[in-house]
Structure 1
Amino acid sequence: MRFGLFNLMNQYGISQPEVYQGTLDCVKLADQMGFETAWFAEHHFSNYSMCPSPLMMAAAAARETKNILLGPAVVVAPLYNPIRLSEEIALLDQLSDGRAVLGLGSGYQRFEFEAFGADLSERQERLFEIWKIIDQAVHDNRFEYNGRYYQIPDVPQAISLARPRRLDTFFVSWTPEILEYAIARDAVPFITVGWGDSAALARMRDFVAQKYDEIGHSLTGRRFAAQRYVFVSDDNEELDRVAAGIRYAGRCAGHMRVGAQKLNGHIIEDLPVDGEPDLSTIRASLPIGGAEVVAERLVNEIRANGITEISCFMMPAGIAPHAALRSMERFGNEVMPLIAAALGDGEKKLLKGVA
């Protein structure tokens, strides 16, 4: 079992400096605790995420840490020039002394694509071409590509990876072409269900497994990554605030998916979406609560879905950095040993991970 830290970087009830410094403080603590990877989201134009450049955040975190792997979860590839993206991935690896990992996605928010002048309907095909360009650039140190969307002459990629290797890559797109390409490169499927419960997580896992089956492959026995909200607290009022922050982020994502968000400046108004859970349902459905509750829920989901690496989203919207840090400390001291014991990894063994 592998664990990591996910950073969406909402701004909700805290200042922008608190978002950035709080994120870096959480990553530093994760590094000290033995987490293996910190992931940074990419979104634009709103407080849903104050991270338009996950590679820049990862580079900033590299200066503050020693061992933790760093990468985007995920780069919205169709919004990039593939040459610049490839160079910046390699540059991150140099600046972090070989600690870069990569998460690739096609994007989904119409709001963002329209502002960039990008066509949302082309996102899967563009992702496929960009992934091939990145692979050639970071592994062969050259560019040369002639595709439908991108044409690049034969030129060198000047920046090498700090450590020659196949860059560990995670992906969140399920077209047959992308799946075949990913499987051939041992890339890791990465899922999230936001405020969804264990049943929603299982449905998403089954969906991905079906996509593998449709092209003659099996998901069973492969690395499989999932992302979950995680917060450790025994304070009911604090847990209600956590649930409210999770609901707010889910509302933002739901509205932006269909371009229906209402903005006050860059702040998305806290308006309901159809079918949303209430706060008590969120509290009962996610790995949030006391240490034993969090451990039990995570262990059950790990076992039920064949999860090999789990990304912990540990600073929900509206939660102050000091509260997130306190929860993280309890997770390391109380929850991780319980999970290790339950999964047979030995109670004293520190779990590490990249998802």
Structure 2
Amino acid sequence: MDDQHCTFGLWYDFRNPARWPRTFTDFYAQSLEQIRWAESRGIESIWLTEHHFMADGYTPSPFVVAAAIGAQTDTVRIGTNLIVSPLHNPIRLDRGGGHGYSQPAVPAFGRAVRNRPSLLEEGVDLIRRAWSGEPAEFHGKRYDFPALPVTPQPEIAPRLLVGAMAEQAIERVARIGDGYLSTQNAHHEMYLDALERVGRSRDEGRIYAGQWAVVADDPEREWARIGEHALYQINGYIEMGAFGPPDSIPRFGTPQDLVDGGAFTLWDVDTAVTELTALLVSRPQIKDVHFWAQLPGEPVDSGSARIELLTSKVVPQVRAAVAADRQEASA
């Protein structure tokens, strides 16, 4: 794909809270149907994330889900944003990962929490060696493997993308990753600065930008309808330790608190076009922008209405505006 082409995609966590009851069978079937339909409307990427031991079924096996999606689609790129790399055998994966923050899951998989950074770094090294097709022994601090071939070798090796939010972790991304999995667009400059500190050019940067935005014709009315689902999602991440020790991070009280605190943004079509165009013009390093397909517990059809708006009204205008800006700049 043309490196100047920014793809637009959807993000899935497959959380199914008991508060909004439905069977997992129906939920997964409807979601796969939605993904097939979204591809026909021009969606180009699907992103899956991972957590373990969650009562709402938050995706514990994204590679299994990715295989199911791959069997049902033709052209979409399927990636992970992100998997918890230290919980996996690096010889068997990977695409987009991070060292994770859900502390109870790490010892449950036989890993030490303090070793997450080194597990991630050695894992990235191992994955690249495995994809090279050349068997070589590996003896590190965390992993020890004999010289065995890993086949089939990828015809085109996927990029290894790494997610992070803390400054030290973002510098690790710049040093070892082929690209940066970002959330809420807050750390792009930090990542580009880190590239320069580790001796790489800012122009080498590749950003895959997960958005926490609701796009609707009437976003306030949409928020009144789905805000409780967003509140469940964000407070759940706080409880998992995504933003720091859970005991020290206050929960949001109302959906409006989420908007006031910047956890979610509400865009009508014109605002979405303006914001996304400005983002892509100012950050040519962004290679993909993706939105939550639906929020936890929200009906799949409800999310599909926003996908239809995104693909029919927002994305075409953004593409045209960015192309016009680049043509003007080159002239």
TM range (shorter): 0.7 to 0.9
**2:256 aligned with 1:280, yes or no?**
yes
Corresponding residue for residue 238 of structure 2: 254
Query: Contact 2:181–2:209 (CA<8 Å) still a contact in 1?
Result: yes
**Which of 41, 52, 62 lines up with 1:54 in the alignment?**
62
Q: Deviations over 1:105-148 (max 9, x none)?
A: 11111122133232121111111111111111122153531111
Measured after TM superposition, the shift of residue 49 of structure 1 is 5.3
Q: Which residue of 2 aligns with 1:341?
A: 320
Partner of 2:180: 189
C-alpha deviation, 1:304, in angstroms: 4.6
CA displacement at 1:314 relative to structure 2: 2.4
Equivalent in the alignment of 1:301: 279
Deviation at 1:242, TM superposition (A): 2.8
Say which SS state the counterpart of residue 317 (structure 1) adopts.
Answer: coil
SS in 1 for 2:146: strand
- Equivalent residue number for residue 297 of structure 2: 318
Task: Tell me, in whole angstroms, the C-alpha distance in 2 between the residues paired with 1:21 and 1:208.
Answer: 38
Residues 126 and 149 in structure 1, CA contact (< 8 A), matched pair in contact too: yes
Residue by residue, what CA displacement relative to the aligned partner does 1:281-313 show, whole Å, maximum 9, x if unpaired? Answer: 645754544322332333333345553321222
The separation in 2 between residues aligned to 1:141 and 1:22, in whole angstroms, is 42
> Which residue identity does 1:111 align to in structure 2?
P
Shift of 1:322: 0.7
Q: Name the counterpart of 1:265.
A: none
Mind listing any 5+ residue stretches in structure 2 that lack a counterpart? Answer: 1-5, 326-331
Q: Please name the residue that 1:95 is paired with.
A: none
Structure 2 residue 11 is matched with structure 1 residue 3: no
Residue pairs, 1:264-275, within 5 angstroms: 273-274=249-250
2:3 aligned partner: none
SS in structure 1 of the partner of residue 111 of structure 2:
coil
Q: CA deviation at 1:319?
A: 1.5
Retained in 1: the 8 A contact 2:16–2:56? yes
Say what the alpha-carbon RMSD is for the aligned residues: 2.8
Larger deviation, residues 60-69 vs 282-291: 282-291
The alpha-carbon deviation at position 54 of structure 1 amounts to: 1.0
Distance change (3 Å), C-alpha of 1:228 and 1:132: same
Aligned residues: 307
Contact 1:287 1:298 (C-alpha < 8 Å) held by counterparts = no
Which residue identity lines up with residue 343 of structure 1 in the other structure? V
Change (3 A) 1:305 1:274: farther
Whether the aligned pair in 2 keeps the contact of 1:11 and 1:317 (CA below 8 Å) is yes
Aligned to 1:180: 175
Structure 2 CA distance for aligned equivalents of residues 259 and 49 of structure 1? 23
Given residue 256 of structure 2, which amino acid in structure 1 is its aligned partner? S
Give the superposition deviation at 1:273. Answer: 5.0
Structure 2 counterpart of 1:226, from 209, 227, 237: 209
C-alpha separation in 1, matches of 2:173 and 2:212: 27
Considering Cα pairs closer than 8 Å and 6+ residues apart, tell me whether 1 or 2 has the greater RCO: 1
Comparing 239-248 with 36-45, which one deviates more in the overlay?
Answer: 239-248
Contact 1:283 1:289 in 2 (8 A): no
Go from structure 1 to structure 2 and tell me whether the alpha carbon gap of 1:52 and 1:248 turns closer, same or farther (over 3 Å shift): same
Which one-letter code corresponds to 2:269 in the other structure? Answer: A
